Chains A and B, each alone.
Chain A
Amino acid sequence: MVHLLKLEIRKFRLPRKIMTAIFAVAFCILFITVSLVDSMTDPEQTKDTFESTFLVIGLLVSFIFLIYSSILTSTLVISEYSQRTITILFSYPLNKKLLIVIKMMLIMAFTAISLLFGYVCCCGYIVGMDYAFDMLEGSFQISYLSEWVPMAVTGTIICSVLSWWPFVIGMIKKSVPATIVTSLIVLFVRQLIITKNPTNQENLFQVVLVLIVTLVAVMIVFREKVTKID
């Protein structure tokens, strides 16, 4: 298993993926900067609060990294099927299901770390910018962290779990576009659900429910689709 993990990490081309994640975070920072500068300079607008900016950060990083994880899923897993290289992979002396599990775990771990990295960088950025330029309403309090950290952790967990859905649909359709479109639908549905919650975040029941439903769907796909080659 360790050997297989090392091989997949090598195929994963980690340095290139890390660079893309850094660019994605930089894009989030740029987006937030434009929004903050706009609200600062436009006399008709009120300044953004820490709370609302944090919600925007959550929305942005989950949007970007969920889509990015679906691109990784399509290039590392689904395209193996659509381009038929899976016939080569499955003719090696390996446990086929374990091979796909390792690929997906790698993607999920990368998505989770990227999300946390995105949260830390963006939150650090707004705190720093507010300290330097007073860009936000009020000033940063350490007590904010008691809300931000659990919300960031919950957001990371839920997005990492949701990153399996493009895999589920992608495996059923064996199609790269279907994989990426699924991530957009997942984001849209998630947004619909969480805007109805007072915290703008999934509650514990919803997290557990998403976890169970995803687990069941993934298990069915592993049983019915993963080892099947047309």
Chain B
Amino acid sequence: MDYIIATSNLTKSYKEKVVVDKVNLHVKKGEIYGFVGPNGAGKSTIMKMLLNLVRPDSGEIYIFGEKMDDKNYECLKRIGCIIENPYFYEKMTGLQNLELHCDYMGYHNRRRIKDVLELVNLQNIEGKAVSQYSLGMKQRLAIARAILAKPELLILDEPINALDPEGIKEMRLLFGRLHQDYGATIFISSHILSEVEQIADRIGVIAGGKLLKEISIQEVHEYQTEYIEIDTDNVKQAACLLEQDERLSHFDVVDDTIIRIYSTVVSGKEISALLVKNGVGLESIGRKENSLEDYFFQLTKEGK
């Protein structure tokens, strides 16, 4: 398999606390890989290790098929990244920061600076020091810097943080375009699961330093079954009644008041009639769909 990023038993501890635990990542060439997990799951640490900013305690990293270490830094020419927050030389202007980036990357097409600033919708900023930018503007500039040298691989740690909904949509479209037009592989972490769901081809779910699952978004969608959720005052009696009906016997008791019924043949009207007729109080009833968020919570719950 043609993997752009592959790790083998990647492990890192800080002060005897394991923050990344034997992680085996597989990012295929040309895909958008969404990396999701709660805060402190180890996402940023793994991303830093991929960029050789943090040295793993054990395990190996292969980027573009080559082992990543201190001596092999040439492959960084082919990578664009945002790590943690958008850091810049604050006294310099946005333009100067991007020029400096070109210099360090050995990228000589200065006309592209204007293009990327337009792409991230950051214009008329000449002469303005980065220290005067809002956080959203810095985030846009960081994205501009990441894509400036037309990298084959983009490693983006929470790139849509601090952006407004319109900005988030713009960036989603931009990443999609980069992926389509240049065939760039994108490794993106975000805690906004609905965004990852819309953009990613595959996701990796991490919690407590462990990679719980790598799954294609297609498989996640297959998991996304419809169900009827009822909120009742008597879960026990409701469950007994549902068990008696063959068509309704596939259900989950979520908590003290909520039951999810996985049936497409019985309508909500029929269920509510059945429950009310038998004296079970109903607070609400409605048809719902499992989302990536549900899938994520189920995985992280199992992981614990």
Task: Give the B-binding residues of A (Cβ under 8 A).
Answer: 3, 7, 10-11, 83-85, 87-96, 227, 229
Contacts and interface: CB of A to CB of B under 8 A. Distances in A.
Interface in B62-115: 70, 73-77, 79, 81, 83-85, 87-90, 100-101, 103-106
Nearest to B72: A93
Contacts of B174: none
Given A227-B70, A229-B48, A83 B87 contact: yes
Given A95-B73, A96-B70, A229-B54, A7 B87 contact: no
Interface of B: 48, 51-55, 70, 73-77, 79, 81, 83-85, 87-90, 100-101, 103-106
Nearest to B105: A92
Given A11-B100, A227-B70, A91 B77 contact: no
Query: Chain B at the A interface: mostly helix, strand, loop or mixed?
Result: loop
B88 A93 contact: no
B79 A91 contact: yes
B88 A87 contact: no
A186 B95 CA distance: 40
A84 B104 contact: no
19 contacts: A7-B100, A7-B104, A83-B87, A84-B84, A84-B85, A85-B87, A85-B88, A87-B87, A90-B51, A92-B105, A93-B73, A93-B75, A93-B77, A93-B106, A94-B73, A94-B104, A96-B73, A227-B70, A229-B48
Contacts, number: 52
Contacts of B70: 96, 227
Given A87-B53, A87-B87, A93-B77, 15 more contacts: A11-B100, A83-B87, A84-B87, A85-B88, A87-B48, A87-B83, A88-B101, A89-B104, A91-B53, A91-B83, A93-B74, A93-B76, A96-B73, A227-B70, A229-B54
B267 to A, nearest CB: 56
A202 B137 CA distance: 54
A91 B52 CA distance: 7
B89 A85 contact: yes
Tell me which of A3, A83, A87 has the highest count of chain B C-beta atoms within 10 A of its own C-beta: A87
Contacts of B103: 7, 10
B75 to A, nearest CB: 8
B87 A88 contact: yes
A84 B55 CA distance: 17
Contacts of B83: 87, 91
A215 to B, nearest CB: 22
A102 B268 CA distance: 72
B84 A87 contact: yes
Q: Which 7 A-B pairs have the closest CB atoms?
A: A93-B76, A92-B104, A93-B77, A84-B87, A91-B51, A85-B87, A93-B73
A64 B52 CA distance: 39
A94 B53 CA distance: 12
Nearest to A90: B53
Nearest to A97: B70
A227 B52 CA distance: 9
A217 B104 CA distance: 29
B290 to A, nearest CB: 37
B300 to A, nearest CB: 26
Contacts of B84: 84, 87
A88 B87 CA distance: 7
Contacts of B85: 84
Contacts of A229: 48, 53-54
Contacts of B51: 90-91
A84 B83 CA distance: 10
B255 to A, nearest CB: 40
Contacts of B100: 7, 11
Contacts of B73: 93-96
